[in-house]
Amino acid sequence: MTINTIIKEMKGIPANRLEEVYQFVHTLTPKYITSASKRKKILSFSGAFSDMKKSDYDDFMKTIKKTRKELFTCNVNV
């Protein structure tokens, strides 16, 4: 199958369905597949802290913010 064959077939698609076709084609690109895979991995952690006491969670968040600030505000000379 060639791209020209696909394009010929696409000419018969009604104009009101072109957006749907575009969205589908977009899901087949490697960039979309990678981001969808990453999104799925990230969402697998949702609710991970739901059983933590609020005070413990607040302490955890303070520590995370402090650590990020210390790690990512330093000047690096290359």
Ranges 5-9, 18-22, 42-46, 71-75: which has the least confidence: 71-75
The pLDDT confidence band at residue 16, using thresholds 50, 70 and 90, is very high
- Taking CA atoms, 2 is separated from 8, 40, 65, in Å, by 10, 33, 53
Ranges 15-19, 21-25, 29-33: which has the least confidence: 29-33
Residues 6+ apart with CB under 8 A from 21: 10, 13
Closest by Cα among 29, 7, 31 to 18: 7
Q: Where are the domains of the chain?
A: 3-72
User: Residues 34-76: pLDDT tens digits?
Assistant: 787 888 888 888 888 888 899 998 999 999 999 888 887 766 5
